[in-house]
């Protein structure tokens, strides 16, 4: 019996591979169909981000390269708006003032927020009521809160002003002096935002297993050692998030200074965003304001990236 010869370059077909070809193609088609369905679900989000973020960002970059008046034809200037920042004394003064405000207001928010979070995380009676009371200022708009404090510090009818004058803690209107106006804004912001930071820290504390504290108490660890060895390390991601939100919000401060101080007295409380607003809509230098906005956005992006890098590194 003769065996049929197999020509070179040809091999007999394997039935298993022939049979498995169609299911494999069918599986690939199913995966592609699922990918298309997934893209369809996220397409509205991409559309919203593209319309409300990337398009305005592109226009902002284009404006920063031009001398863009409020009325009239824009003139291309290239990098001149960015180079002008180096000789703008008002910009650098507003930057250092905003940095000083951030350095002062951030711990002023975190310390009472941490203490309040510890209190409302306890099993004391009336805890739920105090949680609500501490959080109430958060639901008030920042503009409304600023107007409320303007009335409280009014030198004619303000009850807080009368209280401070009675105890010789204030000798002139609070918002008429640069230092007291700055402290008044800091006090208002702490009163307004400490409840939100308290809630963030409270959520992080409640996520810590109570068994860890029980084991630490059995081992003889006091309250302070429990905070240092358990609460602080496990609360680090929440602290990083709250810190990032506080720093970014402080560098973007505008409403409170615009309403309470108007940048005064004598331009002593002008923040970066306030100066961007003035340059754009008071002096009608929209291109220069766009350049400052891009520099501010780049700085905040860098700070956020450093924060996330530090958080990931410490978590590892």
Is there a contact between 182 and 97 (Cβ–Cβ < 8 Å)? no
Q: Which residues contact 311 (CB under 8 A, 6 or more apart)?
A: 236, 237, 240
pLDDT of 17: 46
- In this predicted structure, the answer to whether residue 13 has a pLDDT above a threshold of 50 is no
List every span in the chain annotated with CATH 1.10.3720.10: 89-315
pLDDT of 16: 47
pLDDT of 200: 92
What's the rounded Cα separation, in Å, for the pair 65 and 79? 6
* Structure token pair of residue 139: 């639901």
pTM of the model: 0.82
Q: What is the per-residue burial (b if ≥16 Cβ within 10 Å, else e) of 224-244?
A: eeeeeebbeeebeebbbbbbb
What's the rounded Cα separation, in Å, for the pair 124 and 127? 6
pLDDT digits (tens, 9 = 90+) for 104-139: 999 999 999 999 998 888 877 778 888 888 899 999
pLDDT digits (tens, 9 = 90+) for 149-195: 999 999 888 899 999 988 888 888 888 888 899 999 999 999 999 99
pLDDT of 314: 59
Q: Among 113, 86, 120, which residue's Cα sits nearest to residue 238?
A: 113
pLDDT digits (tens, 9 = 90+) for 195-205: 999 999 999 99
Domain 89-315 classified CATH 1.10.3720.10?
yes
What's the rounded Cα separation, in Å, for the pair 289 and 283? 10
Is there a contact between 137 and 192 (Cβ–Cβ < 8 Å)? yes
Residue 75 phi/psi, 5° resolution?
-120, 130
pLDDT digits (tens, 9 = 90+) for 235-280: 888 888 888 889 999 999 999 999 999 988 888 899 999 999 999 9
């Amino acid at each position: 019996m003769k065996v049929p010869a197999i020509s070179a370059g040809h091999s007999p077909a394997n039935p298993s591979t022939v049979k498995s070809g169609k299911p494999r193609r069918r599986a690939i088609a199913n995966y592609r169909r699922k990918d298309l369905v997934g893209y369809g679900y996220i397409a509205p989000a991409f559309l919203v981000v593209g319309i409300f973020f990337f398009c305005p960002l592109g226009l902002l970059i284009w404006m920063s390269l031009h001398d863009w008046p409020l009325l009239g034809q824009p003139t291309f200037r290239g990098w001149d708006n960015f180079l002008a920042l180096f000789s703008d004394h008002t910009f650098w003064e507003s930057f250092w003032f905003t940095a000083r405000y951030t350095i002062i207001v951030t711990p002023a928010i975190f310390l009472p927020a941490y203490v309040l979070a510890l209190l409302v995380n306890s099993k004391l009676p009336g805890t739920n009521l105090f949680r609500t009371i501490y959080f109430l200022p958060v639901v008030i708009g920042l503009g409304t809160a600023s107007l409320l404090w303007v009335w409280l510090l009014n030198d004619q009818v303000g009850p807080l002003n009368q209280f401070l004058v009675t105890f010789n803690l204030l000798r002139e209107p609070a918002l008429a002096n640069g230092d007291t106006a700055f402290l008044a804004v800091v006090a208002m912001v702490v009163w307004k935002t400490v409840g939100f930071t308290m809630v963030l820290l409270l959520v992080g504390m409640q996520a810590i297993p109570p068994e860890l504290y029980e084991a630490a108490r059995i081992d003889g660890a006091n309250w302070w050692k429990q905070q240092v060895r358990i609460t602080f390390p496990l609360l680090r991601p929440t602290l990083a998030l709250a810190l990032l939100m506080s720093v970014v919000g402080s560098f973007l401060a505008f409403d409170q200074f615009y309403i309470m101080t108007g940048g005064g007295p004598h331009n002593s409380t002008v923040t970066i965003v306030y100066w961007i607003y003035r340059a754009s809509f008071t002096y009608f230098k929209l291109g220069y304001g766009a350049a400052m906005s891009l520099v501010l956005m780049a700085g905040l992006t860098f700070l956020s990236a450093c924060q996330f890098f530090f958080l990931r590194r410490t978590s590892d």
